Amino acid sequence: MDFWSAALQSLPPELSEILEATRRHNRWRRRETINLIASENVMSPLAEAAYLSDMLHRYAEGKPFKRYYQGTRYIDIVEDRVSKLMGELLGGALVDVRPISGTIANAAVFRALARCGDKAVVPPVQAGAHVSHTKFGTLGALCIEQIEMPFDMDSFNIDVDKAVKLIESVKPSFVVLGASLYLFPHPVKEIAEAAHAVGAKLVYDGAHVLGLIVGKRWRNPLDHGADVLTSSTHKTFPGPQGGIIATRDESLFKDIGRVVFPQFVSNHHLHRLPALAVTAVEMKYFGEAYADQVVRNAKALAEALASEGFKVLGEQLGYTKSHQVVIDVRELGGGDKAAKMLEEANIIVNKNLLPYDPPDAIKNPSGLRLGVQEMTRWGMKEDDMREIAKFFRQVLIEKVDPAKVREKVVEFRKSFVKVHYTFDVNPLEDGKLILLE
């Protein structure tokens, strides 16, 4: 009898059911599926081991060496070091690692830069703005008025000339760049100059591209005029779920820090910090190779999907320069139907609004958003992206029974069960059944 069978038999049924569902989830998502959710990734075994520390249980309000609780001497060391590591990766930035998500990072920055009734200029939701950038999310909660930035479909990017004129006219407290639907770099320098000319700050939400930034395959917005970078730490940056705020302005850093605590964060989920530190060091040594392969894989997947008959956005610009690929599946039943069909074949994607969709199309938008960052970390390369494109064609164009494609996907995944771009250390081997399978 294996570990799980023996353990589950000895537990109350309601608990064994939950643990069994967890075990099945782990095996399914990490051994049997192709995960193309653009906002997810997987930590290394070393980072996962660091995550499972006693810090799971502890409190450390405030900043390192200036706490409101005792018993934080080692937590202070870890938090101080990881803040400096992240700052090094971002070219000498001051980094606050206390936000527990990218949304909380955005909220703290928005609150520090504006008051109720002020205005913020942000990209449209259909063009990739995260919900926290909008009146439906954090901006609305802070009663900051959302002004939509013009978007140019030909360049699949911000319309610079119209955006500059809008900023000059509106005179917002801050402008937001960065997105969750994100194929090409935003025009940071031009928008920063326009924002600064009217006394506004430029906030760059780098949640999706942080790993590409530190891997030097995406422009560092702090080098091009952005006043502050917000991000999550678990997308192209393959760390634990959480958030960061980075800036090179010491005064602004202090202002934002006074908002992070106590307004948006009390205890900041300390077990994230050792795992974030491990990932930061991994990205220091392996980040450029990883980011390079991510970008290569995204390009290969986009080209392969186009050759298989899909409408891939951004063709005139080379499809993508990020980890993302976007396809229009309106003629195949829409994003909702397509995503569900793919999931039946063990291919995980998300439906997504496209820039030309009306906002009320959110239940069945035109698009699918795909991200290659996790499959890259499992060791996939360009040829593997071409195999994935064939699976897409079989399910969505040829209408092959998804169950039959699922068998092929499970077999395909057997070659990709080891996390790459990390140190050759696996401290979880003894706990493998619990943590990985």
pLDDT in tens, 36-68: 999 999 999 999 999 999 999 999 999 999 999
Per-residue pLDDT, averaged over 202-219, amounts to 98
Percentage of residues of the chain with pLDDT beyond 70 = 97
| Biggest CA pair distance of the chain | 71
pLDDT band for position 434 (cuts 50, 70, 90): very low
Assigned domain for 242 exists? yes
Assigned domain for 376 exists? no
Assigned domain for 351 exists? no
Sign of the torsion formed by the C-alpha atoms of 370, 371, 374 and 377: positive
Assigned domain for 182 exists? yes
pLDDT at position 431 is: 45
Distance of CA 140 to the CA centre of its chain: 22
Residue 1 scores a pLDDT above 70: no
Assigned domain for 212 exists? yes
Tell me the residue range of the domain where 221 lies.
49-279
Assigned domain for 159 exists? yes
Assigned domain for 258 exists? yes
Per-residue pLDDT, averaged over 377-406, amounts to 98
Per-residue pLDDT, averaged over 423-435, amounts to 60
Evaluate whether 268 touches 244 at the Cβ level (below 8 Å).
Answer: no
pLDDT at position 302 is: 98
| Burial readout 119-142 (b: 16 or more C-beta within 10 A, e: otherwise) | bbbbbbbbbbbbebbbbebbbeee
Per-residue pLDDT, averaged over 278-302, amounts to 98
- Distances in Å between the Cα of 106 and the Cα atoms of 52, 177, 182, 271, 352 are 27, 12, 18, 21, 22
Per-residue pLDDT, averaged over 13-26, amounts to 89
Query: How far apart (Å, rounded) are the C-alpha atoms in residues 435 and 437?
Result: 6
Assigned domain for 401 exists? no
Q: To 10 degrees, the CA torsion angle through 425, 428, 429, 432?
A: -140
| Residue showing tokens 């958003």 | 369
Q: What is the pTM assigned to this prediction?
A: 0.94
Quote the radius of gyration of the chain (alpha carbons, Å).
22
- Residue 260, amino acid: V
Domain count, the chain: 1
Structure tokens at 349: 């994607």
- pLDDT tens per residue, range 346-383: 999 999 999 889 888 889 999 999 999 999 999 999 99
| Residue showing tokens 């900041």 | 268
Which residues fall within 8 angstroms of residue 392, CB to CB, at 6 or more apart?
305, 308, 310, 342, 347
Cα–Cα nearest to 324, from 143, 181, 121, 141: 181
At 223, which CATH number? 3.40.640.10
Mean pLDDT, the chain, whole residue set: 94
- Residue 113, amino acid: L
Per-residue pLDDT, averaged over 185-193, amounts to 97
